Structure 1
Amino acid sequence: MRLSLRVVIRELSGEIDVTEAVNFKEALKLLVSDQFDLVILEVLMDEYSGIKMMEMIRSIAPSTAVLICSMGDELLYAEHYILRGASGFVVKTAEKEEILTAISTVINGNRYLSDRVHDRLLTRTELKSKVKEALTKRERQILPLILEGRTTKEISKMLEIHVNSINFYKSNIFRKMQVNNILELAEKVDISKLFPQSYSVSV
């Protein structure tokens, strides 16, 4: 894989110096002793966790671009590493043209994600927006209480609203969220980020 990447990088410019490391410990030593414009990193083939790798690289070389080139599923990992300081994510099985684009993009100071990941993030953003507009203020207040497992009577007592009104709001929430039960609702809503006036939706 390192040999293939070296060949691909040379297509960008013959003047690029390429240094290889056989493991992450060796890569850290290189980062300490020299300055690099780009680190191409596999996060699933070493004793360190990917998060720890990113933390260590950022502490040593905060301005160096980091492109994750991994066998991991980009839909699971790409956003995860971008949020932790990576400049881009590309799968090892990508076509040569995509890998070239990814390298060129991040080395010029920009972020790179594949069209597949972009589409996923866009879909999730659109869903968040639609749901946030659809639910009323009162429904957004009741939603987290439902997900906490509160009964209709408990919610009624907490909010000082009649039981029949709670049932009405609950029915509206299920209809607007396009779910049939609390389990399906929980799969759409991230309860860890939920409080009465704000919530997140995952796809």
Structure 2
Amino acid sequence: MIRVLLADDEAMIRAGVKAILAADPGIEVVAEAANGREAVEQARAHRPAVALLDIRMPQLDGLAAATEIRRVAPDTAVVMLTTFGEDDYIARALGEGASGFLLKSGDPRELITGVHAVAAGAAYLSPQVAHRVISELRDGRMSRGAAARDRIDALTDREREVLALVGAGMSNAEIARKLYLVEGTVKSYVSTILTRLDVRNRVQAAIIAYEAGLVDAQ
């Protein structure tokens, strides 16, 4: 069962999102919050697998709450859920360590897919957000490619192989099956990769993998 924290200052939005999640028997909303500060406290108390946070909330916005949740509940994956698709929100959300970014205007099935993906250790961006990120990376790839390749030089061949699969969006379980490894071994590889690359999460590692040419975006 995937335990989820849902934070949004609009009660009707919370009710709608909760109803969508309730359609999946493998997901349970264990806590709700109406502001960012409450979301942090609920994350501390319930330690959910996934926290769905609206970006614009009173007292503490979703981006600041994401940072605090990473501190008080480091095993909780954060997904930003918002109506705003501007590039600056996307960049800030990923910079704060979010594992996913979903638009409220997207297909409801994306919500369930995203929750399952980040709970499994993968990253998930809605198709609209992924398009923006890929376009931005493509536009600036040549200027950042050399720096990214320098960063992955510190990795072993196996670690680069794992990083490429992280960049392809695979979860730890999928990587384990692909490389015939134990899932715990993959988890250790990913942890080491994040440390050596000095990044917060898989999304940021995946960006480096793309910039370094380990994986191509379609």
- Structure-1-length-normalised TM-score: 0.57
Amino acid at match of 1:45: M
Rounded to whole Å, the distance in 1 between the matches of 2:133 and 2:66 is 22
* Residue of structure 2 equivalent to 1:184: none
* Residue of structure 2 equivalent to 1:111: 123
* Residue of structure 2 equivalent to 1:34: 46
Shift of 1:14: 5.5
* Residue of structure 2 equivalent to 1:199: none
Rounded to whole Å, the distance in 2 between the matches of 1:15 and 1:128 is 38
Rounded to whole Å, the distance in 2 between the matches of 1:37 and 1:132 is 33
| TM-aligned CA distance change 1:51 to 1:96, over 3 Å | closer
The within-5 A match list for 1:72-111 is: 72-111=84-123
Rounded to whole Å, the distance in 1 between the matches of 2:68 and 2:124 is 21
| TM-aligned CA distance change 1:127 to 1:11, over 3 Å | same
Amino acid at match of 1:102: G
* Residue of structure 2 equivalent to 1:150: none
Rounded to whole Å, the distance in 2 between the matches of 1:124 and 1:47 is 32
**2:78 maps to 1:69:** no
Q: Runs of 5+ in structure 1 lacking a partner?
A: 134-203
Rounded to whole Å, the distance in 2 between the matches of 1:9 and 1:122 is 28
Indicate which of 52, 70, 73 corresponds to 2:64: 52
* Residue of structure 1 equivalent to 2:137: 125
| TM-aligned CA distance change 1:26 to 1:127, over 3 Å | closer
Rounded to whole Å, the distance in 2 between the matches of 1:121 and 1:21 is 29
CA contact (8 A) 1:72 1:91 kept: yes
Q: Runs of 5+ in structure 2 lacking a partner?
A: 1-12, 146-218
SS in 1 for 2:43: helix
Is 48-57 or 77-86 further displaced after alignment? Answer: 48-57
* Residue of structure 1 equivalent to 2:32: 20
Q: Deviations over 1:68-105 (max 9, x none)?
A: 11122253312321221111111112121122222221
Rounded to whole Å, the distance in 2 between the matches of 1:28 and 1:36 is 11
Rounded to whole Å, the distance in 1 between the matches of 2:133 and 2:109 is 23
CA contact (8 A) 2:100 2:123 kept: yes
Runs of 4+ in 1 over 3 A off after TM superposition: 129-133
Identity among equivalent pairs (%): 26
